[in-house]
Amino acid sequence: MREIDCSYGEGGGQLLRTSVVLAAITGLSVHVYNIRAKRSNPGLAPQHLTAVKAVAALCSAQTEGVEIKSQEIIFRPGPLRGGEYDFPVGTAGSVTLVLQAALPAAMACGEKLRMSISGGTDVRAAPPLDYFRYVLLPLVYSMGARAKVEVLLRGYYPRGGGKVVVDVEPCLPLRPLILNTSEGLEGITGFAHISNLPRHIVHRMANAALAELSTFPTPAVGLEVFGKDEAVGEGGAVLLTAHKEHSRLGASAVAERGVRAERLGAEAGKRLREEILSGATLDIHAADQVLIYLALASGESCFLTRELSSHAATTIWLLEQFLPVRFQVTQEAHLIRVHATPEFNSRSSFLWR
């Protein structure tokens, strides 16, 4: 049984979610303690609880301590299985954080699988669903992943109520991701949406984002206004994507009550501009979220990023506790190179059980 102290490093919910995913994939039991100990409200919140239960369902795990506010759990995985699953967060907890946990395990189960996840699709302190769909997933697709995400309803804080359906086919091991150099910029696209709010808000958000990117050739942002049949509650978000030959960079912002639309759009535009000008091949959020997929690849991967967050550094530490993979992080001028070397051989075939 692996012993994982969740107060290590960044100390957030990602350590818990990734620990149970890796347990499900490898078949190794895990004892996770000090869960979110560095947070003002330590222990399992609803979205963390749903993530653990989702992964547990995929592998018929035996669990102890899986309840709200628990700071310690034991997770004993069984065999991963396909089929149809329903994972309700029950609040405006993030759909994408649950999906981040469940997707790698779903990819490893060896059978087709469908997940219905309900909760908040675009909430603070979590990646908006469109970032997951249009930035992270294309990167994982390039590694051979086979997954499709359909949005049935948008949902926002505090009601939640959004619903997403995800179809996944077996695809491990993945191909390596090689992003050694930053190719020329092919274009910038974006998507801004609001739900059950006046139409002028989405225009103001998009125009502010475009103003920050005006020095680049012909950026284009699509607009969408969702009504009560397409969204639960009021909210919105903006996603901007810079397209390169083999990669893409993303930046996003989620609407907040009391924060002007112009400020949200400008923040997303400024972040994307910084990513483009840095010469990075992955933005700082993708650099964090793609790490588990690099560890599940059949060969060496690498990328360049302008910053490696404490969240990413903590994830690297955790991956090396479970998997035969080694990460090397080096400084190259103003960028950081991350190199992942999975050490797979005939004895590590248990990973694809």
- 189-215 per-residue burial string, b: 16 or more CB within 10 A, e: under 16: bbbbbbbbbeeebbbbbbbbbbebbee
141 φψ region: left (φ > 0), alpha (ψ -120 to 50), beta (else): alpha
Return the structure tokens found at 203: 């225009």
- The length of the chain, given as a count of residues: 353
List CB contacts of 121: < 8 A, sequence separation 6 or more. 95, 96, 128, 129, 151, 153, 154, 155, 156, 162, 164
In this structure, are residues 59 and 80 in contact, taking their beta carbons and an 8 Å threshold? yes
Q: How far apart are CA 179 and CA 197, in angstroms?
A: 40
Residue with tokens 């030959």: 245
Residues placed in the known binding site:
100, 285-289
In this structure, are residues 151 and 184 in contact, taking their beta carbons and an 8 Å threshold? no
In this structure, are residues 293 and 177 in contact, taking their beta carbons and an 8 Å threshold? yes
Q: Which residues are catalytic?
A: 311
Q: Give the dihedral sign, CA 203/209/213/219.
A: negative
Q: How many Cα atoms occupy the beta-carbon half-sphere of 220 within 13 Å?
A: 5
Q: How far apart are CA 88 and CA 91, in angstroms?
A: 8
In this structure, are residues 214 and 268 in contact, taking their beta carbons and an 8 Å threshold? no
| Cβ neighbourhood burial of 115 (10 Å; 0-12, 13-18, 19+) | buried
Residues placed in the known binding site for ATP:
100, 285-289
Instruction: State how far the alpha carbon of 282 is from the alpha carbons of 161, 250, 267, in Å.
Output: 31, 8, 18
